[in-house]
Each structure stands twice: as structure tokens, then as C-alpha cells.
Structure 1
Amino acid sequence: MSEAHKKHLEKQLWNIADALRSKMNADEYRNYILGFIFFKYLSERMLDFADKQLERAPIKSYTAIPEGTDEGDRYLDVMRTKALKSLGYFLKPSELFSTLVARGTAKAEAVPVDETGTEEEDEDATTADNFILEDLRDVLRHIENSTQGTDSEKDFINLFEDINLNSTKLGRTVKARNKIIVDVLRNLSKIDFKLDEVDADVLGDAYEYLIGEFASGAGKKAGEFYTPQQVSKILARIVTTGKTRLRSVYDPTCGSGSLLLRVAKEAKVDDFYGQEQNPTTYNLCRMNMILHGVHFSKFDIHNDDTLEHPAPHHQDLRAEAVVANPPFSANWSQSQVFMTDDRFSQYGKLAPRTKADFAFVQHMIHHLHENGAMACVLPHGALFRGSSEAHIREYLIKDRNYLDAVIGLPANIFYGTSIPTCILVFKKCREEGENVLFIDASQEFEKEKNQNRLSDEQVDKIIYTYRDRQAIEKYSYVATLEEIAENDYNLNIPRYVDTFEEEEPVDLAEVSAALKRLNVEMEATDQTIAGFCQELGIETPF
């Protein structure tokens, strides 16, 4: 997609949000817009699939099938079977996005008038022709129900549960709610998502754009489920270094799935695995997978707390790539039962109850394949905090030799927090077994309004430095394991990358002369002020 087309699309999407922005905050109205985008996508895929199936049939168009007749029902029964196998869901012609938009925007019949010449008070009478709320609610429910008992059931169940068409936030009356929903759907119908173009990902780009906008506009609550694209790009390029294909990629705190999908832009991925605790974000992730063309059989996303209740069917997962942006310094139970859990038992200590950063690291390493690579974002404090975290760091470096690189990122590049962060890279079978690469990229960023951002050039510099393991003055350093041991396994980057800038020498003689000149000027000023005070008949202030 050209930059001009992308800008035009973004403008259209932002204008669509205007209808809802005044009524609710971003993390609420995102559910409606993203949900309707997903509905539009499912409808267009269904229509395209069905029309291709009908190319050799007497009825050539899916929308021409006469629903409610014997002939029409036979067509739909066959189409339902094929669609559930190929797409994972089914929609009738009357349930398509375009059909509902056409009904919702149809011109209503003239409003009846009573004998006195005034309009009837029944507001529903004015919308008899274009009232679609109930049908829309039924269609969204039917999409989910159509998958029951099929292989795709777990990927579609409750996908639209966050779209409340009865919410008074949409409007005080049914008529008002219907109008605003019709307006949103009508504007969405004007956007061509170019599903017929193999290389086009207009819909996916639109989805990612809106997720990013909601995150930046709503602070921490909406930003929890989204990793800035430039950071995602770094993680994805690290774990795909030297590879064009991955058997599997796993994100234990997958949010909306942007990290998983970013990896797929760097290498072909066979299977996607993830877990997300927030039900709304879990729904967004499943939508995002389907929107980006990932077949329902190729992704496995679980909804639950990753540390406390890891997905049972992920127990034997050993992913070739692991990426994550876990919640920074989150609380967890630190229950002693975890001391017998295979994820944590070998370390001898658990991560602090109020700082679960290394608990996520331990979980991810457990699910990392022997020949895989793992890259995760952590708060900077995880590099040097003591107690059990220091013990875990030492075990990972000294006893297991898993740590491959430490990359310091600029502060204020994540939505909802301004703290500096870092990326830790782990491998179980490292090519460079006797050292760890440290990169200090914390001072190289672009300032944008209230947010810092990494440019493409700055991202490239991080990646090239990582892949070449370059030692660059004031930017990167390759530390031996002995040096790290001498630092008591403290990974604070300034201990390894010297960024000290020597100050220019001070000419004390010149400073002394400047002070003398200043004293002379001050005495002259004092005399002038004293003269003014004498003329005014007031006491001098000194």
C-alpha cells in the first residue's frame, strides 16, 4: 500500500471514530469499531468464497440465492458445510455486512400522520425500514454459534461479547443507537480493504493503526495490549536472525497479537501460540489473527493468567521463537507450590511477589526450544535489582549460559509509562558461548509530542549491531562471562558500555576575570539605583 493510500485510509478510520469519540472513552469505543471491521472482513471473505463456489452453478451470485425456499436451503446447506471447513464460520446472504448496511441506509417510508396533521409519537415507526440493531445482534451471535461442534469453535466463541448494542452510551433511545451504528457501518462500507489483492494487507494495517491510536490516546489501560511497532520489529528481527521459516512462535502475554504477527512479517510461521489474561484483549487477538489471514487451525490463543494458570494444552510446547512484552513489575502469588513447577523448580528461588518480571522470563525459557531464540521487554530495574532476582540472573548466566544480549531502550517509548526499558535475548544453544553483547540505545530516539520513538535507522543500527556483535564506542560492548561475574551478575548497562562524555576544561583565569568585570558592572548599577531612590525620597534597598 502506498504511503498516500495509507494516510487516506488512516484519515477515514479516524473520521469514523468521531461518531463514538464524544460518547465514550477510547478503550470502550474501540470494541465497536474493531468488532465491526472484523464483521465486515468476515462478510467479504464469505461472499468472495461463496461466489467462487458458485462459478459453475446455475445461480452465479451468493446474494441471489433465494433464502427460505427449498432450492435456496439446499444451496445454503452445501455452502455451510464448505465454509465451516475452509473458513471456520458461516454467514447467510441476508446476514452479510453489505446487506445490513443497505437496509440500515434505506430511505424510510413517510411517517404516518394522525387526523390532526401531527406526526405519531412512536419513534420506532420512523425507523421501520432501516432499523437493524436486533438483526445485527442476531448476526453477530450467529457467527459464533455457527462454529459450535467444529474445529474452529474455540477461535470464534464469544468474539463479539464486548459489543453491547443496548448500551445507553450509544444513545438514550433505540432510534438514536440505531442511527449511530448505521452511521459507523455506512462509513466503513466506503473503505475498500482489497481482499482480492494477495499482497495487500489494508485491513490488517487498518486494524493495527486503530489499535495503536487507541493505545496512544487512552494511556495505560488501552496500551496494555499493544507494543509499539518499532519495538515489535526489533524483537521479531532478533528471533528470526538467520531464519526464513519458523515452526512455531509463542507469546505468553500476547495482548492483541501484534508481536506474533510482526514475527510473521520477518519469516514464514507455521503455528502461532499465545496466552492473554484480559478477555477483551483476548478477543482482539483472535480477530487480529483472522484479519491477517492466519487460518483458524494455525493459531492457538488461550485466555487465562499465564503464570498462575498456564494453558494445559501448551504444556509440551517448545517454541522455536518466543517474544513478549509482559506487564512491567506485575504482582503474582509467588505461591510455594511453584517450587515444584517445572517452570521454576530448577532455579531454587521464585521472583518477588511484587515484581514478576523474572517469573515471566522463567516461564518463557521453559517453553523455548533448544534451538530457538527468545526476546522479551523488561523494565530496566530487572537488570540490577538484588535478592531473588539477582539469584535468578546468576543461574541463567553462570549455570545455564542462556543470556545472549542486553539492549537498553529509550525511556518513554511505551504507552502509559515513561520508564526506561530493555530487551533481554536468550538462547539455549548459543553460537557465542563465552560472552554477552550489551547495547545502549537509550540515547538514540526521535521526539514526537509526548512520546519518544525509534526511527527505522535507529532500529536497523540495533539489529546490525546485534547480528554482527559489534563493539562500538559509547554504544555497544561484548562482555566476557568473567566480567559479568566480577560485577556480581549485575547487568546494568553503564557497567559495560562507557558513555561518559568528558567535559571541556574550565579556564579558571578567565572565570576570575569575568567575575571581576561583573562586580564592576554591579557597582555601577547599584549607584544608578541609589540615585533613583534619592530622587524619589525613599531608602535604597542595599
Structure 2
Amino acid sequence: MSEDHKKLLEQQLWNIANTLRGKMGADEFRDYILGFIFYKYLSEKQYIYANYLLEGEEETDYHKVTDADTLDAIMDESLNKLGYFLKPNELFHTIAAKGNAKNEGQSSFILEDLERILNSIEQSTMGTESEDDFVKLFEDLDLGSTKLGRTVEARNELISKVLFHLNKIDFKLEDTDADVLGDAYEYLIAQFASGAGKKAGEFYTPQQVSTILAKLVTAGKKRLKSVYDPTCGSGSLLLRVAKEVEDIDEFYGQELNRTTYNLARMNMILHDVHYRQFDLKQEDTLENPQHLDQRFEAIVANPPFSAKWKGKDNPLNNNDERFSQYGKLAPSSKADFAFVQHMIHQLADNGTMACVLPHGVLFRGAAEGHIREYLIKNLNYLDAVIGLPANIFYGTSIPTCILVLSKCRTETENVLFIDASQHFEKVGNQNQLRGEDIDKIIDTYKERTTIDKYSYVATLEEIAENDYNLNIPRYVDTFEEEEPVDLQAVAQQLQALEGNIQAVDKEIAAFCKELAIEKPF
């Protein structure tokens, strides 16, 4: 039932999203459709909870409640339970119905009402525990944008149409698992990412990669005290970790891009993560970390590949406790190891981290080589290196790898290398890891075995002999011998071809003689 409902929801929501296609770019109409879906979700949650509070009262339908004292009581309970409050006349159903009530052949004007309602949701949280989770949450829904239509009437007509179609969809929040709508929301995010080109990498990690990272950091655990993503994008990776364990006490994340940060907060709430359970911040993680005094049991990340950062240009970095012990800073042109160092600093003593990085981190020299050696030789935190196929990320075709690091390693004398780069299927323009490919990676990681042409357990001495170069082909031999060539057979084939050529030449010469023209050879 839940799976069928999820698939139906995915198709219905994507069809509505296409109402805006052609009006603007994929990354722009994404913000509108996801924002409206989120508003409808908040409305339905409010309606369900308010009706629950009204049980046994004279009026049990929240739509019809007008008594000020009753509304105040519902507001107090809602702010504590849900983290926000919507009045009956602010519910999605009400504004959608108004927008599609024809007045002289045209939709009623709702843009001002809608903007007021979205602001009211945010304002209802002011001074409460949930304020940080809702502040400026709808700022990307610019209802006055000319991309929605050149005139106010055209914009009103389009928005009314979108709300009308959304209003016909039953989210069935009372009857289905909380993840059904959340997963449908994730589906939309993935669809937008596939059409957003290079920008997709800013906010979305493909689900198969998220699954691997989540399984790696939860191996052997049923619950987690905390999970953290320093570059959390849309929050999908954090939520994927939650699917691998029975319970997570707290979710933490930080994201630089404001629009993506808003999307992440919506995503957490849509997956029914209580506002007291997550703490997401919008800042530059390397320059202004927001959770520096905390340590996390699991850390997952897909940092921007080889991003620029201030590095040596910021003198404070030399004394920053995240970087100072290594003796060198990651180069300003490539922040990959700066993110790794940051995550190690935040990792709890019983924690495991897994992050996706470009292959260059495995072999580049200078400061990065120095940091890599310190990680292995001095700290001995590196647990595994996993090579992934090329072209599995939206917006880039480069091959990537996963580094797994732990402060509580059980196998302290070796590092596991896995080459999964040739194990995938091609879907459209993208390569995708199949279920069996993911299972093989995880099983090999757990069993820590050497498999011919796939994995190798390298001793620390071997890594030292390679000058701490972690390039996977140095450890996993995937060379396939070519079939021996039968030179005698090749010579015979060439002789036969020569005979055929001579026969054809004679035939051409005869035709040329008959036509009284010169031969072409």
C-alpha cells in the first residue's frame, strides 16, 4: 500500500511540477513546486493535529473554529508539538479553493494572501524553540517574479493552477508511513538534480552513493546518538543514514548555499524529523563552523570537489585546532583535505566517517601528500578506500572515491582498498550502481577480504613503501591479459585479402578498358 501510494504520489507531483516547466530553469521552478508541496504538508499536519485536540469539543472540525480562546489553545499546543501554527483560514485547502473560485471568468486574486500566509508561518515561530528551523524558510518563493508571468494576472493564474492540482492530491498523512511523502519529495529533488546540470552537485548526492555512505557509517550499529554532514545540501544524505538504523537521536548539518539550506530544512520536516531533533546551520563550514564544540558518532559528506578556500590567506587557519597538528594546510585551490580534517576533528572517539572525494586526494603531492601521510602514519585513522565508477554524479563525469575513517578501528595494521569502478549499469547519460554492486561493496568492507581484481587488504608497511600514495591500481590489480594473437593466422588472412584486392583490381581494369577510360591505379 505504502509503495503503491508513493509511486502514485511521485508521478502526480512530477506532473504538477511540469506545469512550471518552460517558464524557468529546473533549479528555479524546483523552489516553487517544493515550497508549495511543503506548505500543503504543513497545512495537513496542522489540520490533523488541531482536529485531534478538538476531540470531545463542541466543534471538531478545525476549518470551522472561530472562538479566539480555542484558537489560542490550539496555537500553544501546535507550537510545542509541530513547531509552527496555521489559522483555519491560512490552510492550503482554503487558499487553493479561493484561487480557483472564478470571478467574472478569472481566478480570484490570491498572491497577496498567499504571501501573507507564508510569512505568518515563519512569524508564528518567533521567540520559540523552532524559530531557527523556520526563519526565512519561504524566502525563495518570489511570487512577484516575472518568470511566473509578465503580469500580476498571469502570475496569479499560474499559481492558482498549481495549487488547484496540488489540492486534489491526498497525501494520506494519517494512513501511511511518514517516509512515503518524504520519499516522494526526495524523488522530485532527484528529478530536478538530473536536469540542473552542474548546479546539481551543490545540493544532491545520488541515492546509490548516499546508501553506500550510510551503510558504511552504521555498520554494526542499530542506533546512533548523532549524525553530522558538514556540507549537507538538501539533507538527503542525513536522512539516508536514518534508514539504516532503528533510531537517531540528533541530526546536525551545515550548508553554505542559502536556497539549498532552506530545502534541507523542508526535507527534514517533511520526513517527520521533529524540530528538536535536527540542527542545521547556514554558513561556510571551513571558515565559520557552527558545531565546533560537538563530536558526532557518524559523519557523512559529499563536499564540493576541489573547491577553493582561504587556506594560507587566512592566518587564523595556521592555529586552528582542526588543521594545526598536521603541520601543513590544504592548498587554497583544493579544499578536499580541509574538509577531511574538519570532519576528523568533529568525529567522536567511537565514530566513523565516510566522505566522497575526487581521486586526486589519493595521490596528489606537496601539502596534500604530507596531510595524507600524517593521517595514516601518525593518526592511523584511515580504514578503507573505495573507488567508484565515473559519471555517477550529476554535473560531473569524473571518477570519485570514498574515504572511510575511524577513531576506533579494529583492524589497525592495514587499510582495505576496493575498486568498484567497473561495476555499474548505464542508465541514459549516467552510470548507476545496482543493488548488487552496493551489496558487494558493503559485504567486502564488513568482511575485509581480498578479492581478485576487486579488493586488497594492504598493510601499513606496503602503504609506506608506496610513499603513502593511495592510488587504487597500486593495490588492486585489475589488469586483464589479452588473448594471444595467432600471427600465422593473421598472415594467412592478409594474404587472402591481397588476393581479393588483386582480383577486384583486374575486374575494375576490364570495366575501364570496355569504357575506354584510364584505370584509377
Question: Is TM more than 0.5 here?
Answer: yes
Shift of 1:15: 1.2
Report the Cα offset of residue 85 of structure 1.
Answer: 1.1
Alignment of 1:428-439 (within 5 A): 428-439=407-418
Report whether the alignment pairs 1:317 with 2:310. Answer: no
- Compute the TM-score of the two structures, normalised by the length of structure 1: 0.94
1:211 aligns with 2:206: no
| Partner residue, 1:305 | 284
Equivalent residue runs for 1:240-259 within 5 Å: 240-259=218-237
Distance in 2 (CA, whole Å) between partners of 1:498 and 1:535 is 63
Shift of 1:261: 0.4
Residue 2 of structure 1 and its aligned partner are, at CA, apart by 5.2
Query: Which amino acid counterpart does residue 408 of structure 2 have in structure 1?
Result: C
Q: Deviations over 1:156-181 (max 9, x none)?
A: 00000000111111112212111111
**Alignment deviations for residues 265-300 of structure 1 (CA, whole Å, 9 cap, x no partner):** 111110011000000000000001111011111111
SS at the partner of 1:266? coil
Provide the rounded CA distance (Å) in 2 between the counterparts of 1:131 and 1:507: 81
Q: Distance in 2 between matches of 1:197 and 1:464?
A: 36
Q: 1:323-402 alignment to 2 at 5 Å? A: 323-334=300-311, 335-402=314-381
Question: How far off is 1:365 after superposition?
Answer: 0.4
Q: Percent same amino acid among aligned pairs? A: 68
- Alignment check: 8 A CA contact 1:214 1:223 kept: no
Deviates more, 1:405-414 or 1:193-202: 193-202
Q: Which residue number in structure 1 is paired with residue 238 of structure 2?
A: 260
65, 68, 82: which is aligned to 1:87?
82
Where 1:460 maps in the other structure, the secondary structure is: helix
SS of match in other structure, 1:90: coil
Read off the aligned partner of 1:310 and give its amino acid letter: P
SS at match of 1:208: helix
- Counterpart of 1:153 (choices 119, 124, 131) is 131
Secondary structure, aligned partner of 1:296: coil
**Displacement after TM superposition at 1:512 (Å):** 1.3
- Structure 1 unaligned segments of length 5 or more: list them: 67-71, 112-125
Q: TM-score, normalised by structure 2?
A: 0.97
Tell me which residue corresponds to 1:453. 432
* 2:48 counterpart SS class: helix
**1:352-387 Cα distance to aligned partner (Å, 9 max, x none):** 111111110000000000110000000111111111
The corresponding residue for 2:51 is 51
Secondary structure of the residue aligned to 1:317 is: coil
Contact 1:170 1:180 in 2 (8 A): yes
Cα distance in 1, alignment partners of residues 222 and 293 from structure 2: 24
- Of residues 137, 146, 163, the one that matches 2:115 is 137
Q: 1:167 aligns with which of 145, 153, 168?
A: 145
SS in 2 for 1:425: strand
Q: 1:194–1:202: 8 Å Cα contact kept in structure 2?
A: no
Larger CA deviation: 512-521 vs 408-417:
512-521
1:528 aligns with 2:513: no
Name the counterpart of 1:296: 275
Amino acid at match of 1:321: A
- Work out whether residues 409 and 442 of structure 1, in 8 Å CA contact, stay in contact via their aligned partners in 2: yes
Matched, 1:497 2:492: no
Distance 1:398 1:533 in 2: 79
State the partner residue of 1:24: 24
Would you say the 8 A contact 1:436–1:478 is kept in 2?
yes
Q: Which moved more, 1:55-64 or 1:429-438?
A: 55-64
Mapping of 1:402-481 within 5 angstroms?
402-481=381-460
Counterparts of 1:231 and 1:191, CA distance in 2: 31
CA distance, structure 2, for counterparts of residue 495 and residue 477 of structure 1 = 10
1:216, 1:223 within 8 Å by CA — same for their partners in 2? no
Residues 538/386 of structure 1: CA separation in 2 closer, same or farther (3 Å cut): farther
Matched positions, count: 518
Shift, 1:201, TM fit = 2.1
Q: Which runs of 5+ in 2 are unaligned?
A: none
For 1:123, the equivalent position in structure 2 comes to none
Deviation at 1:204, TM superposition (A): 0.3
Bigger drift between 520-529 and 82-91 goes to 520-529
Comparing 57-66 with 2-11, greater Cα deviation is found at 2-11
- Change in CA separation of 1:302 and 1:146 when aligned onto 2, cut-off 3 Å: same
Q: SS at 2:215's partner residue?
A: helix
AA aligned to 2:235 is G
